[in-house]
């Protein structure tokens, strides 16, 4: 009994000055630990004893930041999971020491991220800058050029991550190791083996080139830096997408030239899985495309409207579910990365909103299509209502009102709901934490990765603020010099919306790997504020939506640098340099193509440079900035009821929050309304078919395999995701240049490539056909 009493300390005992007094002597410390993670669905509350072992560090030494030997025992491997069967936490309590975790409490992080660091590893090297700048220019130029072509081909960040490793190893072999001295700084073209930190910095620069960077997005860069204390430093912000990159980095470097015993190395597993993915994709992607669009029920009854509406994969509800094409499965993101509870929220939204509700809607149109229609059932001809680049009300009255498919209506509804839900959910679950973190610093974080990062000087906030201020000035100058028709106050409003949305959206992305797209709401706001100005609508959306999206993307890369122990000031430099270079490269490529390709962005463009994404962007600007939300959503408008989505989104998180607080170990804590609404943000152009296959695959790997074969999941899950993505991406590039682009394209015509196209689903035949040739109101304005 006496020993048991020593586990806790009376609040009346004297404490050293450097240790904060505890006020809960009669409650186990685990209660505080559990309550910290109550709002974290990724944390297993049912097994709190599985917290990683704590290291008791005498306070003076810990405050001095001496961390060089505390973590030397750890590595990134599945066997490390044995270390997390922690002994009794009570036995490790000692109020004269400060407890720190030797490992992350999240299995996903432990499976992918190393908890050791070598601060002396060279990062700021010639070969890092040479490869980083070269690949940034190359990838930004190639991706921007092919973005205008249909189908578009992109060299993704993971491809850059793979090709930069052999290039770095080649420079390690080829460059001389001679040392030079410049301004008392000793450096070398080849400071030693090409290391993992150089590789990470190169990949971060490639990621900036892949996501694209424009002049307005330097504001997003500054915004990403200001998000550090909210979504980068906290351990609970796991960023599943960064874990995939981290797992691949450790796989490629840790086992380089080594052999593991007892199981296949991650490096070998990756290359075998990547090769299999590359070879297999030729079948559903080119030779037997019916395996990709596996709407097999529609093959049996190709002209049955009901069957095609329910089971169609193109314009139907996608109840076929199964596909053999990883590109279809991962169209909305890798299901192996997203937590299973997030996937279940998303598929619940698909089932409720798109399977049950939509069956009763808009019978004269395809039930699921990403374009709007006129009153004859044909795609809406935007050029018919535009004169000299401006919306013409007389042409609109003579042509047709705009009609949206059932899927598009529900997509707008959940988009409106997501806008309200993200703020209510964030206020309820993270409100106090956000306020606290406004005053926090990296030293306040106690997980192992944050403590290791304290070895490096942090980037002062004023660096990012300065970039943000300069970007704002350039934005204001640009909209005044060029004929954008966007007033300064509207640009300031766009910047304000970008800032307000950044924290909740970044938190949602970091925890759930889901993104709530707010561009529809932003288009609506400027559509009401500046009616009849499509160009102003485009610029407003580019500032507000792209600013937030880029800020979240830059914060995600900062988390990757945090995991890989890249010095923060080095991360600032490589991101900034890559951002500036990409701005100029994209602008130069755009100018050259627009000036040298005759008929570009028109249906008659050579080599199919029809600019699909640009046309979608322009169509949206005409819809919202020209026709305007007042005609569509105001009182008496055809789609006015969709505005109730704002009310639903604002109120829906409240009951589930209180249920989760009342029953913290129940499934109520997994219900996330922002994910429910925002997870389906890719519809359209994605369909319920993509989401059904995605959720099924995610459930198998992140629920069944994770629970029954945890060691395998720890070792290979994220590696498998990266390998499948890489194999498909490489195959798409080879396929495009070898058989689709060369000699006008080589087509394989047979039943397996045609059966799915000869269905009502593929042809978009609606459930009802108007006898008069038109439908809807007889007059409009």
Question: In a 3-state reduction of DSSP, which class is residue 264?
Answer: coil
- Domain end marker among 53, 77, 112: 112
Give the rounded distance of the alpha carbon of 233 from its chain centre. 18
Q: How far is CA 226 from CA 465, 513, 518, 555, in A?
A: 8, 20, 20, 9
**Positive/negative CA dihedral, 204, 210, 216, 220:** negative
Question: Do 174 and 83 share a structural domain?
Answer: no
Residue 7 lies in a domain: yes
Q: Please give the pLDDT value at position 264.
A: 80
pLDDT digits (tens, 9 = 90+) for 332-389: 878 888 888 888 888 888 888 776 554 434 667 887 776 778 888 888 887 788 777 6
Q: Using CB atoms within 10 Å of the CB of residue 544, give its burial: 0 to 12 exposed, 13 to 18 middle, 19+ buried.
A: buried
How many whole angstroms from its chain centre is CA 320?
A: 27
Classify residue 312: in a domain, yes or no: yes
Handedness of CA 657, 505, 644, 405 (dihedral sign): negative
Q: Which of 86, 112, 138 delimits the end of a domain?
A: 112
Task: Count Cβ atoms below 10 Å from residue 663 Cβ, excluding itself.
Answer: 11
270 and 397, same domain (yes or no): yes
Contact 215, 583 (CB under 8 A): yes
Instruction: Note whether 46 and 97 are same-domain residues.
Output: yes
Element (H, E) at 706: helix 706-708
Q: Which DSSP string corresponds to 526-584?
A: HHHHSTT-HHHHHHHHHHHHHHHHHHHHHHHHHHHHHHTT--HHHHHHHHHHHHHHHHH
Residue ranges of the chain with pLDDT lower than 70? 1-101, 149-154, 212-216, 255-262, 355-363, 370, 389, 437-446, 603, 606-608, 612, 616, 684-685, 740-745
**pLDDT, position 73:** 36
Same domain, 77 and 187: no
Residues 273 and 390 in one domain: yes
Query: Could you tell me if 485 and 535 are in contact, meaning their C-beta atoms sit under 8 angstroms apart?
Result: yes
Q: Is 272 within a domain?
A: yes
173 inside domain: yes
Q: What is the pLDDT of residue 83?
A: 34
Measured in Å, how far apart are the chain's first and last C-alpha atoms? 84
Separation of CA 722 from chain center: 15
438 belongs to a structural domain: no
Shared-domain flag, residues 79 and 151: no
Three-class SS of 374-425: CCCCCECCHHHHEECCEECHHHHHHHCCCECCHHHHHHHHHHHHHHHHHHHH
Whether the CB-CB separation of 266 and 712 falls below 8 Å is answered with: no
Domain limits for position 397: 266-401+653-763
Domain assignment of residue 457, yes or no? no
Read off the DSSP letter of residue 115: S
Task: Among 92, 112, 132, give the residue marking a domain's end.
Answer: 112
Nearest-Å Rg of the Cα atoms of the chain is 27
Co-location of 374 and 272 in the same domain: yes
Query: How many whole angstroms separate alpha carbon 561 and alpha carbon 566?
Result: 5
- Asked if 156 and 278 sit in the same domain, the reply is no
Q: How many domains does the chain have?
A: 3
Does one domain contain both 48 and 126?
Answer: no
Answer yes or no: do 100 and 145 share one domain: no
Determine the pLDDT at residue 33: 46
Q: Are residues 310 and 336 in the same domain?
A: yes
Q: Rounded to whole angstroms, how far apart are CA atoms 256 and 722?
A: 18
Residue 260 is predicted with a pLDDT of 61
* Domain assignment present for 216: no
This prediction's pTM: 0.74
Residues 99 and 134 in one domain: no
703 contacts 340 by C-beta, under 8 angstroms = yes
Specify burial of residue 596 (Cβ count, 10 A radius: 0-12, 13-18, 19+).
exposed
Determine, yes or no, domain membership for 719: yes
Predicted confidence (pLDDT) per residue in 600-609, tens digit? 877 677 666 7
């Amino acid at each position: 009994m006496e020993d048991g009493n020593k586990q806790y300390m009376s609040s009346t005992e004297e404490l050293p000055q450097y240790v904060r007094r505890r006020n809960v002597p009669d409650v186990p410390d685990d209660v505080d630990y559990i309550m910290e993670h109550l709002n974290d669905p990724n944390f297993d509350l049912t097994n709190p004893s599985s917290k990683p072992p704590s290291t008791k560090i005498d306070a003076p030494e810990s405050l001095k930041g001496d961390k060089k030997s505390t973590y030397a025992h750890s590595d990134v491997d599945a066997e490390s999971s044995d270390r997390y069967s922690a002994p009794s936490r009570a036995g490790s309590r000692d109020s004269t020491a400060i407890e720190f975790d030797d490992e992350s409490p999240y299995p996903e992080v432990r499976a992918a991220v190393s908890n050791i660091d070598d601060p002396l590893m060279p990062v700021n090297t010639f070969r890092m800058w040479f490869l980083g700048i070269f690949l940034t220019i190359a990838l930004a130029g190639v991706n921007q050029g092919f973005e205008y072509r249909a189908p578009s081909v992109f060299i993704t960040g993971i491809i850059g991550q793979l090709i930069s490793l052999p290039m770095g190893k080649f420079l390690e072999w080829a460059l001389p190791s001679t040392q030079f001295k410049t301004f008392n700084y000793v450096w070398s073209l080849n400071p030693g083996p090409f290391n993992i930190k150089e590789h990470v910095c190169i990949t971060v620069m490639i990621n900036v080139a892949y996501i694209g960077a424009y002049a307005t997005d330097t504001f997003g860069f500054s915004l990403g830096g200001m998000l550090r204390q909210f979504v980068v430093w906290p351990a609970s912000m796991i960023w599943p997408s960064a874990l995939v990159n981290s797992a691949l980095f450790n796989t490629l470097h840790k086992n380089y030239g080594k052999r593991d015993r007892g199981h296949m190395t991650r490096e070998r597993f990756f290359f075998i899985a990547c090769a299999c993915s590359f070879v297999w994709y030729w079948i559903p992607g080119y030779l037997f495309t019916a395996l990709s669009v596996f709407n097999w029920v529609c093959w049996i009854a190709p002209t049955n409207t009901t069957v095609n509406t329910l089971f169609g994969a193109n314009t139907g509800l996608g109840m076929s579910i199964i596909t053999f094409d990883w590109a279809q499965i991962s169209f909305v993101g890798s299901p192996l990365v997203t937590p299973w509870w997030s996937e279940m929220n998303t598929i619940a939204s698909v089932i409720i909103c798109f399977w049950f509700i939509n069956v009763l809607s808009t019978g004269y149109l395809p039930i699921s299509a990403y374009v709007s229609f006129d009153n004859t059932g044909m795609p809406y001809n935007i050029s018919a209502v535009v004169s000299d680049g401006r919306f013409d009300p007389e042409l609109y009255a003579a042509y047709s009102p705009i009609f949206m498919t059932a899927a598009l209506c529900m997509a707008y509804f959940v988009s409106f709901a997501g806008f309200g839900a993200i703020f209510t959910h964030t206020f309820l679950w993270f409100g106090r934490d956000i306020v606290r973190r406004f005053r926090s610093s990296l030293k306040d974080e106690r997980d192992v990765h944050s403590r290791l990062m304290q070895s490096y000087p942090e980037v002062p906030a004023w660096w990012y603020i300065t970039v943000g201020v300069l970007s704002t000035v350039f934005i204001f100058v640009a909209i005044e010099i060029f004929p954008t028709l966007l007033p300064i106050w509207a640009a300031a409003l766009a910047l304000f919306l970008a800032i307000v949305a950044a924290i909740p959206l970044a938190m949602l992305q970091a925890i759930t790997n889901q993104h709530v797209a707010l561009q529809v709401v932003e288009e609506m706001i400027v559509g009401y504020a500046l009616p009849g100005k499509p160009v102003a609508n485009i610029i407003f959306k580019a500032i507000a939506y792209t600013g937030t999206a880029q800020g979240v993307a830059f914060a995600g890369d900062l988390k990757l640098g945090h995991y890989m122990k890249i010095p923060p000031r080095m991360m600032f430099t490589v991101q900034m340099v890559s951002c500036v270079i990409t701005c100029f490269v994209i602008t130069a490529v755009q100018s050259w193509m627009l000036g040298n390709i005759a008929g570009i962005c028109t249906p008659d463009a050579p080599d199919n440079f029809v600019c699909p994404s640009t046309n979608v962007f322009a169509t949206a600007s005409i819809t919202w900035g020209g026709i305007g939300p007042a005609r569509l959503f105001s009182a008496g408008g055809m789609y006015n009821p969709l505005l109730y989505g704002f009310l639903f989104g604002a109120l829906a998180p409240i009951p589930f929050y209180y249920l989760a607080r009342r029953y913290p170990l129940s499934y109520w804590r997994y219900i996330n309304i922002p994910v429910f609404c925002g997870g389906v943000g890719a519809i359209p152009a994605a369909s319920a078919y993509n989401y059904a296959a995605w959720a099924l695959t995610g459930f198998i790997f992140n629920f069944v395999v994770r629970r029954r074969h945890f060691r395998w999941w720890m070792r290979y899950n994220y590696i498998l995701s990266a390998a499948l993505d890489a194999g498909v991406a490489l195959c798409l590039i080879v396929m495009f240049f070898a058989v689709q682009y060369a000699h006008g394209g080589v087509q394989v015509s047979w039943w397996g490539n045609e059966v799915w196209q000869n269905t009502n689903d593929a042809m978009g035949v609606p459930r009802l056909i108007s006898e008069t040739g038109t439908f809807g109101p007889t007059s409009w304005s």
